[in-house]
């Protein structure tokens, strides 16, 4: 089993930045592709970005591309989501997720992921 705990959310003004962290326990993350999703009130949970287990590849939703960056520190068993130029439409609960080890897939759907954190709230004021 893998337990994921997100942190780093909060309230920020438009144009500001936040860095979310996702700390894992139970197993090392080095063999898991990690994803970030978000869910705004009244909306479906949507893909934000993903980083493969080797960190060789990242993928982002068009809405966050060039503003958000995913990185991972396997030694710390932690994945990060750096969010810059935040806008009110980025307001949501942000979730990190992990696939099964060495899983190969699209990494952009909820079905690709087996383990989920509890989420952290990000609120961007205008």
Predicted confidence at residue 49, as pLDDT, reads 97
In the chain the beta strands, taken as DSSP E runs, fall at 3-7, 10-13, 18-25, 34-39, 46-51, 58-60, 68-73, 78-83, 92-98, 115-116, 120-125
Reported as a single tens digit per residue, the pLDDT across 29-47 is 889 999 999 999 999 999 9
pLDDT band at 119 (very low <50, low <70, confident <90, very high): very high
């Amino acid at each position: 089993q893998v337990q994921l705990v997100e942190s780093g959310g909060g309230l920020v003004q438009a144009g500001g930045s936040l860095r979310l962290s996702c700390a894992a326990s139970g197993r090392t993350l080095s063999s898991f592709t990690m994803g970030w999703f978000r869910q705004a009130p009244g909306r479906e949970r949507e893909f934000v970005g993903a980083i493969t287990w080797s960190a060789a590849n990242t993928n982002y939703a068009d809405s966050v591309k060039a503003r958000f960056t995913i990185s991972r520190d396997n030694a710390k068993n932690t994945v990060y989501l750096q969010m810059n130029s935040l806008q009110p439409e980025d307001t949501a609960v942000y979730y990190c997720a992990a696939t099964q080890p060495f899983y190969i897939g699209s990494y952009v759907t909820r079905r690709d992921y087996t383990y989920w954190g509890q989420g952290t709230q990000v609120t961007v004021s205008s």
